């Protein structure tokens, strides 16, 4: 009888420990920010808080010149970070090189974007791009110019808008 009681206590203990460690594993998956580990380009400058929410790293790769009417930059969004809503007068192409996040046009559902995706953004369409709530995102941005203009910055993506995007499967 005594042995059964001890065995039963041990069994309960094992159950509790197992449940706790599986909870911990879940938390690690959901909560811990993921950082890009195999960066192609070095981090250069912090994206301005005037145009970005969260931690964003911008590395200019190529300036517009007399031949190329566009600039190229690498943008790294840490987990939860995103650009403000904005437009490009002559459009923009994104090439996702790491992680997963979102591209959303105003009044449309957000789209999941991930490593290997190429996004062709039309001129003058209000949109944002950035990381997701549990993954970082790295993309190359090729941005066309109209005279000396390439972007018009608008309002930040609110937490409500960002959370809604994160419901996208």
- The verdict on 87 binding Mn ion (CB under 5 A) reads no
Which residues are paired to 131 by β-bridges? 101
In this chain, which stretch among 18-26, 36-44, 46-54, 91-99 interacts with Mn ion, using CB under 5 A? 91-99
- The verdict on 92 binding Mn ion (CB under 5 A) reads yes
- The verdict on 132 binding Mn ion (CB under 5 A) reads no
In this chain, which stretch among 18-26, 41-49, 59-67, 87-95 interacts with Mn ion, using CB under 5 A? 87-95
- The verdict on 79 binding Mn ion (CB under 5 A) reads no
- The verdict on 135 binding Mn ion (CB under 5 A) reads no
- The verdict on 74 binding Mn ion (CB under 5 A) reads no
Residue with the CB atom nearest Mn ion in the bound state: 92
Q: Considering beta carbons, is residue 71 or 92 the nearer one to Mn ion?
A: 92
- The verdict on 144 binding Mn ion (CB under 5 A) reads no
Question: What DSSP string runs through 9-48?
Answer: HHHHHHHHHHHHHHHHHHHHHHHSPP--SS-SS---EEPP
Q: Considering beta carbons, is residue 18 or 114 the nearer one to Mn ion?
A: 114
C-alpha span between 9 and 17 (Å, rounded): 12
Spatial CB neighbours of 38, under 8 Å, sequence gap ≥ 6 = 98
Q: Considering beta carbons, is residue 18 or 152 the nearer one to Mn ion?
A: 152
C-alpha span between 67 and 62 (Å, rounded): 12
- The verdict on 97 binding Mn ion (CB under 5 A) reads no
Q: Considering beta carbons, is residue 92 or 104 the nearer one to Mn ion?
A: 92
C-alpha span between 11 and 160 (Å, rounded): 44
CB 129 within 8 A of CB 139: yes
How many Cβ atoms sit within 10 Å of the Cβ of residue 33?
A: 14
- The verdict on 71 binding Mn ion (CB under 5 A) reads no
- Tracing tokens 């069994």 back to the chain, one arrives at 11
| Footprint on this chain of Mn ion (rule: CB under 5 A) | 92
């Amino acid at each position: 009888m005594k042995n059964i009681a001890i065995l039963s206590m041990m069994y309960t203990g094992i159950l509790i420990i197992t449940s706790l460690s599986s909870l911990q594993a879940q938390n690690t998956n959901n909560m811990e920010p993921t950082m890009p580990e195999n960066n192609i380009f070095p981090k250069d400058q912090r994206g301005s808080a005037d145009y970005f929410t969260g931690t964003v790293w911008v590395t200019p790769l190529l300036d517009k010149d007399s031949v190329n009417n566009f600039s190229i930059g690498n943008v790294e969004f840490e987990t939860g970070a995103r650009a403000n809503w904005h437009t490009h007068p002559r459009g923009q192409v994104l090439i996702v090189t790491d992680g997963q996040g979102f591209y959303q046009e105003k009044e449309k559902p957000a789209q999941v974007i991930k490593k290997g995706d190429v996004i062709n953004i039309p001129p003058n369409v209000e949109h944002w791009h950035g990381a997701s709530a549990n993954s970082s995102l790295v993309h190359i941005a090729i941005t066309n110019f109209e005279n000396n203009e390439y972007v018009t910055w608008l309002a930040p993506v609110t937490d409500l808008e960002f959370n809604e995007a994160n419901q996208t499967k």
